[in-house]
């Protein structure tokens, strides 16, 4: 296991469309998928049902070369699922509850993990929250919290507690307005929660990273993007932010690469890509743009 191996905790599920199409998803799973393609061999901790969907997820992970030793099997609860319906062209999402990822039990992970990434959706029930707290207590490493507020599966008090234990936090401007006081700035948010960094995404307006030292990095999407699907763009951005932290890239370079990768992802259908050449091309571009940076890793 690499000395900088990341630990990814949270939901894996299937987005189920009225057409019968079923697409792998879940922010933590998407991040783990990307990191695997970038050569980081993450330990992904989740839980699936002993059912067809759970088997399909494990099979996809194995084919992608991912570790499956952190994925638990639940004999009673089904694999996570989001049922998507459309009315007048607008989608509605039913995040099925309870699901197997709501009942994650303490994992046996040992050794050194340089970062633990998790969101907030998988912590809607006490069991998975307890499992995460146990993991953080034993591993005592950097915590990267990717806020994912999905009504009705969150409350401000619970999410605020997660922020108190975070080193890095990623959220979008709408989530910031729900969690911070009306007069609070990004700088104040960093100070209030004693963060090492705040990643604030602005959708089509790009993203900014704010640190307690006053550094503020702003990045914008590429111009004239061919936008096919924005689902998972934030997960793509988060995965490269994690990669930069793991490889000690500068904050500016990390943010630029994260935005570039997110821009590439929105030109694809779905939150992940199953062709290795897609990621090979991304990394080849990074070598051209930052050869010395990669050589120092």
Read off the pLDDT of residues 58-88 as tens digits, 9 standing for 90 and up. Answer: 999 999 999 999 999 999 999 999 998 888 7
5-9, 153-157, 181-185, 291-295: which range is least confident on average? 291-295
The reply to whether 73 falls in a domain is yes
pLDDT at position 182: 83
Distance (Å, whole) CA 194 – CA 295? 32
pLDDT(295) > 70: no
pLDDT at position 231: 82
Please, is 211 exposed, middle or buried when counting C-beta atoms within 10 Å of its C-beta (0-12, 13-18, 19+)? middle
The reply to whether 3 falls in a domain is no
Q: Where are the alpha helices (DSSP H) in the chain?
A: 27-37, 52-63, 126-139, 156-164, 173-179, 186-192, 233-247, 251-265, 276-289, 291-295
The reply to whether 2 falls in a domain is no
Instruction: Specify which residues 217 forms β-bridges with.
Output: 209
The reply to whether 171 falls in a domain is yes
2-6, 52-56, 107-111, 123-127: which range is least confident on average? 2-6
pLDDT(3) > 70: no
What is the chain's mean pLDDT, rounded?
Answer: 91
| Position 132 confidence tier, pLDDT thresholds 50, 70, 90 | very high
The 8-class DSSP code of residue 149 comes to -
The angle formed by the CA atoms of residues 176, 182 and 184, to the nearest 5 degrees, is 70
pLDDT at position 4: 62
> Strand order of the sheet with strand 22-25?
22-25, 13-16, 80-87, 90-95
How many structural domains does the chain have? 1
Residue 42 near residue 67, CB atoms below 8 Å: yes
The reply to whether 4 falls in a domain is no
What's the whole-number mean pLDDT along residues 217-229? 85
- Mind listing the pLDDT tens digit for each residue in 16-28? 988 998 999 999 9
| Distances 61 to 1, 44, 85 between C-alpha atoms, Å | 17, 10, 27
What's the whole-number mean pLDDT along residues 145-152? 95
Residue 101 near residue 46, CB atoms below 8 Å: yes
Range of the domain at 103: 9-295
Which CATH number is 191's domain given? 3.40.1190.20
% of the chain exceeding 70 in pLDDT:
95
């Amino acid at each position: 296991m690499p000395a900088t191996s990341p630990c990814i905790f949270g939901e894996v599920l299937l987005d189920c469309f009225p057409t019968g199409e079923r697409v792998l998803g879940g922010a933590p799973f998407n991040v783990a998928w990307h990191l695997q393609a970038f050569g980081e061999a993450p330990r992904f901790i989740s839980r699936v049902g002993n059912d067809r969907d759970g088997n399909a997820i494990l099979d996809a992970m194995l084919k992608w070369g991912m570790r499956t030793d952190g994925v638990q099997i639940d004999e009673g609860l089904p694999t996570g699922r989001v049922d998507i319906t459309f009315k007048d062209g607008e989608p509605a999402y039913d995040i099925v509850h309870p699901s197997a990822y709501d009942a994650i039990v303490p994992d046996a992970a040992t050794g050194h993990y340089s970062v633990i990434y998790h969101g907030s959706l998988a912590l809607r029930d006490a069991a998975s929250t307890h499992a995460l707290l146990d993991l953080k207590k034993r591993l005592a490493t950097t915590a990267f919290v990717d806020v994912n507020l999905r009504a009705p599966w969150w409350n401000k008090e619970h999410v605020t507690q997660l922020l108190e234990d975070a080193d890095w936090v990623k959220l979008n401007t709408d989530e910031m307005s729900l969690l911070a006081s009306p007069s609070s700035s990004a700088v104040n948010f960093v100070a209030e929660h004693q963060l090492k960094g705040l990643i604030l995404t602005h959708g089509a307006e790009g993203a900014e990273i704010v640190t307690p030292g006053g550094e503020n990095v702003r990045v914008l999407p590429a111009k004239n993007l061919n936008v096919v699907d924005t689902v998972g763009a934030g997960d793509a951005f988060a995965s490269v932010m994690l990669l930069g932290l793991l490889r000690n890239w500068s904050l500016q370079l990390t943010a630029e690469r994260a935005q570039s990768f997110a821009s590439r992802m929105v030109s694809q259908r779905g939150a992940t890509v199953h062709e290795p050449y897609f990621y090979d091309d991304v990394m080849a571009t990074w070598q051209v743009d930052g050869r010395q940076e990669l050589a120092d890793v």
